[in-house]
């Protein structure tokens, strides 16, 4: 990638030198497009990884090559040889603020994103100065024995803990894109919460030391030990701008006995992005796992957060919102696997389609033999804003046990003329009225979000709704 | 010249079927008019047409707002929200539920727009403190629980709660002209009395009100200047408060006999409606 040497990127480079130990290592890696064993081996070498990780990557590459493209979901038109799989932070620096499209800048303005975060989010600045802003939070976490770092660092500094779970919850053979991520992953969060420790505030990637730019192939691993609690918030509601078109993350989570984990994602991708993500959590005895997943933007998103309830009393909840506009296909959903008796699952999915956008709910509820007295409920509601838009529901239910209770409700509705007229008759413009109806539709999920995210989510919906009428 | 809402020779059709067949009605600001008539005679249609419901097509006639300077403003050219901003209000007989939208949030938007007719989308709303204070006062006057404003608009409301929410909006928006479409239906005697008192207090000399009703109780505290009887899509007779009392006690037989042409139109409309059971 070409490097602009204008003032803003030079400044940003200076800041990287201050925080990035990697700039001290001799550069032998030369970025090039394409995917083969040499590239994968080079990525591993660049990161000074142990042999087991290098072998894991190479084996994953073989699996990726041997797997066909999925024939369901959306149309995936990706040339795998035309992608940079790893760029050093300095090389990502190539863009300048001037290169960021006006539309993205305007959205930053409207969302009121602070200046420092804007450059980071737009990929102009590879690092967020977390130490300056969140230093005291980091100290507090360290005192409690919490590990919160990027996954690359964890490979070096916490190899035993990481290796016990890494690639075990989502093995490379799980699906083609999990295999791809396993071969070329970079960045992402590694979190360990020790027994009985509760973290009262939501953890965000910003808090991390060494927060690398939002990677294309992030790899996150969260281990919640017995009786511990954590809420992790991934990404943010600001539009994530990237010149690369493929993003494929893997998120693995283990919640041990009576632990609780909530993982919140609100993603708002640029319209050229394929966002193909595998997320899975294992919940043990009496543990609670919640996924809250908001998907806006992108060209195609395929994402189905899963909870495997492994032991009695485990609970899994998945709440998802998808918003598909022109040229966008949101194929999103959820997966609940009841692998033990007395497990409880809940899926609530809300999708909105407008201006020819397409949203699909794709979900699986599976009850394994012996998972007696398990209960699951699935509610998926779709709202279609105009005749050009589309919504589909693909609910799969596999039950291999008699003594269970599984409920499924689905609804598809259009914004009612009567509702619009009612609101307009009280002085709201058609756009305000539509936005209000859409906001009300997703309200049950938005109120689960941390306050500042709920506010941003509502503002985002307003932005998405602008220009949708008349 | 005083401010007024002028409806002349109004013809309205729904899906090609004519429902109003030439309505003439003038309501001055500060006046109360009652509109009575059998079910299906076109009373609600008049309300919807004045407010601009897209299903109700005006095929002939005019609706104009005449301002204090005597200038006429063509209401038919306005979108429903512009009509609201111009000071027109319709209390719905069956208001729509808007799940997930809190009454207070909706009302803050609504009040802001109606009081600042030139407000553009995205511009500042009425300050929260000021709005909350005013809302609280109005709810107290209407004996409404303050939690009510945090509920979702008409979602799971009882019939009585819906009507009170409509009266609350009337109180907050303070329109120049209000059409109250059976604001008394589904209420018990005490609730009707309370509604009647509330409307009288809100209205005063500042509001022109058209009260659509089958009963005279709502008029107890809102003595109409004129009572109009609608039959077969026309106003066939107008009179004083004694007319409302007569219709309430004796029904519409005398009216049907006195206006055979309108009665025939009513029968015809009734027959058409039976052929299309889905039509409202």
Helices (H), A305-351: none
Rounded to whole angstroms, the Cα distance separating B172 from B166 reads 10
Asked if the Cβ–Cβ distance from B109 to A428 is below 8 Å, we say yes
B-chain residue closest to A462, CA distance: B122
**CA–CA distances in Å: residue B104 to residues A121, A430, B73, B110, B169:** 35, 19, 31, 10, 10
The helix or strand, by DSSP H or E, that contains position A33, with its residue range, turns out to be none
Which segments within A310-389 are labelled E, that is strand?
315-324, 329-338, 344-353, 358-367, 375-384
Note whether A411 contacts B: Cβ–Cβ < 8 A.
Answer: no
Residues of B in contact with A422 (CB under 8 A): 92, 95-96, 98
A-chain residue closest to B50, CA distance: A425
Residue A262 has pLDDT above 80, yes or no: yes
pTM over 0.80, yes/no: no
A-chain residue closest to B173, CA distance: A426
**ipTM value for the complex:** 0.95
Note whether A470 contacts B: Cβ–Cβ < 8 A.
Answer: no
Q: What is the CA radius of gyration of chain B?
A: 19
Rounded to whole angstroms, the Cα distance separating B101 from A437 reads 7
Render each residue's pLDDT in chain B as its tens digit; 280 residues: 589 999 999 999 999 999 999 999 999 999 999 999 998 899 999 999 999 999 999 999 999 999 999 999 999 999 999 999 999 999 999 999 999 999 999 999 999 999 998 888 778 899 999 999 999 999 999 989 989 999 999 999 998 899 999 999 999 999 999 999 999 888 888 889 989 999 999 988 889 999 999 888 888 888 899 999 999 999 999 998 889 888 888 889 999 999 999 999 999 888 887 776 554 4
Query: How far apart are the CA of A443 and the nearest CA of chain B, in angstroms?
Result: 5
Note whether A352 contacts B: Cβ–Cβ < 8 A.
Answer: no
Please answer whether residues A53 and A152 qualify as being in contact, where contact means their C-beta atoms are separated by less than 8 angstroms: no
Dihedral sign from CA coordinates of B101, B103, B108, B111: positive
Residues of B in contact with A416 (CB under 8 A): 96
B-chain residue closest to A421, CA distance: B53
Would you list the DSSP string of A158-214?
SHHHHHHHTTTSS-GGG-HHHHHHHHH----EEEEE-TT-B--S-EEGGGSTT----
Residues of B in contact with A424 (CB under 8 A): 79-81, 84
Binding-site residues on chain B for chain A (CB distance < 8 A): 51-55, 79-81, 83-85, 89-90, 92, 95-96, 98-101, 105-107, 109-110, 113-114, 121-122, 152-153, 169, 173
Rounded to whole angstroms, the Cα distance separating B273 from B280 reads 8
Residue A174 has pLDDT above 80, yes or no: yes
Query: How far apart are the CA of B181 and the nearest CA of chain A, in angstroms?
Result: 14
Query: How far apart are the CA of A427 and the nearest CA of chain B, in angstroms?
Result: 4
Choose from B45, B80, B112 for mutation: most chain A CBs within 10 A. Answer: B80
Residue A210 has pLDDT above 80, yes or no: no
Choose from B55, B78, B82, B109 for mutation: most chain A CBs within 10 A. Answer: B109
């Amino acid at each position: 990638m070409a490097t602009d040497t204008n003032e803003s990127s030079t400044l940003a480079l200076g800041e990287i030198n201050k925080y990035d130990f990697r700039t001290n290592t001799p550069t032998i890696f030369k970025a090039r497009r394409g995917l083969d064993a040499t590239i994968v081996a080079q990525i591993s070498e660049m990161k000074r990884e142990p042999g087991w990780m290098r072998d894991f990557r190479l084996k994953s590459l073989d699996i990726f090559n041997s797997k066909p493209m999925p024939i369901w979901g959306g149309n995936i038109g990706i040339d795998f040889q035309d992608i940079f799989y790893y760029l050093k932070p300095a090389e990502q620096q190539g863009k300048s603020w001037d290169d960021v499209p006006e539309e993205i800048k305007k959205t930053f303005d409207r969302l009121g994103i602070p200046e420092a975060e804007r450059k980071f989010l737009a990929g102009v600045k590879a690092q967020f100065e977390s130490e300056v802003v969140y230093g005291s939070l980091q100290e507090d976490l360290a005192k409690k024995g919490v590990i919160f770092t990027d996954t690359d660092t964890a490979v070096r500094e916490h190899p035993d803990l990481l290796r016990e779970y890494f690639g075990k919850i989502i093995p490379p053979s799980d699906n083609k894109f999990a295999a791809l991520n396993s071969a070329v992953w970079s960045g992402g969060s590694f979190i360990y919460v020790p027994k009985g420790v509760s973290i009262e505030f939501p953890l965000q990637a910003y808090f991390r030391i060494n927060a690398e730019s939002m990677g294309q192939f992030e790899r996150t691993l969260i281990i919640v030990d017995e009786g511990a609690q954590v809420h992790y918030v991934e990404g943010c509601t600001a539009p994530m701008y990237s010149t690369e078109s493929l993003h494929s993350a893997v998120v693995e989570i283990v919640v041990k006995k009576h632990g609780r984990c909530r993982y919140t994602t609100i993603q708002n991708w640029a319209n050229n992005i394929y966002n193909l993500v595998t997320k899975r959590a294992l919940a043990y005895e009496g543990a609670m796992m919640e996924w809250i997943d908001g998907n806006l933007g992108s060209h195609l998103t395929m994402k189905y957060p899963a909870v495997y309830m492994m032991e009695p009393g485990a609970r899994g909840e998945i709440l998802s919102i998808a918003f598909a506009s022109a040229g966008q296909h949101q194929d999103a959903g959820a997966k609940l696997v009841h692998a033990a008796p007395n497990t409880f699952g809940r899926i609530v999915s809300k999708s909105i389609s407008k201006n020819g956008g397409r949203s699909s709910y794709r979900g699986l509820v599976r009850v394994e033999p012996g998972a007696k007295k398990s209960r699951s409920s699935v509610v998926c509601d779709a709202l279609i804003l105009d005749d050009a838009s589309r919504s589909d529901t693909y609910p799969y239910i596999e039950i291999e046990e008699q003594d269970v209770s599984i409920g499924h409700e689905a609804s598809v509705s259009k914004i009612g003329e009567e509702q619009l007229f009612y609101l307009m008759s009280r002085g709201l413009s058609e756009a305000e009225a539509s936005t209000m109806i859409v906001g009300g539709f997703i309200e049950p999920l938005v109120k689960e979000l941390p306050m500042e995210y709920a506010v941003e989510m509502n503002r985002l919906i307003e932005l998405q709704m602008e220009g949708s009428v008349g | 010249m005083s401010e007024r809402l002028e409806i002349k020779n109004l013809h309205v059709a729904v899906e090609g079927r004519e429902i109003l067949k030439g309505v003439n009605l003038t309501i001055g600001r500060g006046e109360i008019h009652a509109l009575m008539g059998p079910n299906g005679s076109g009373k609600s249609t008049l309300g919807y047409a004045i407010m601009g419901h897209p299903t109700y097509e005006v095929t002939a006639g005019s609706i104009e707002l005449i301002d204090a300077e005597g200038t006429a403003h063509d209401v038919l050219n306005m979108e429903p929200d512009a009509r609201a901003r111009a000071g027109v209000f319709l209390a719905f007989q069956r208001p729509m539920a808007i799940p997930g939208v809190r009454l207070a949030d909706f009302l803050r938007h609504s009040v802001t727009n109606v009081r600042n007719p030139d407000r553009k989308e995205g511009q500042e709303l009425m300050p929260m403190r000021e709005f909350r204070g005013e809302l609280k006062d109005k709810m107290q006057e209407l004996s409404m629980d303050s939690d009510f404003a945090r509920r979702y608009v008409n979602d799971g409301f009882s019939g009585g709660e819906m009507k009170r929410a409509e009266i609350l909006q009337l109180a907050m928006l303070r329109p120049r002209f209000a059409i109250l479409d059976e604001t008394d239906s589904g209420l018990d005697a005490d609730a009707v009395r309370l509604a009647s008192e509330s409307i009288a207090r809100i209205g005063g000399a500042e509001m022109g009100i058209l009260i659509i009703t089958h009963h005279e109780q709502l008029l107890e505290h809102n003595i109409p200047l004129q009572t109009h009887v609608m039959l077969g899509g026309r106003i066939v007779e107008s009179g004083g408060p004694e007319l409302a009392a007569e219709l309430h006690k004796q029904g519409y037989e005398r009216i049907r006999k006195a206006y055979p042409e309108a009665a025939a139109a009513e029968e015809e409309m009734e027959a058409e409606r039976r052929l299309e059971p889905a039509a409202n």
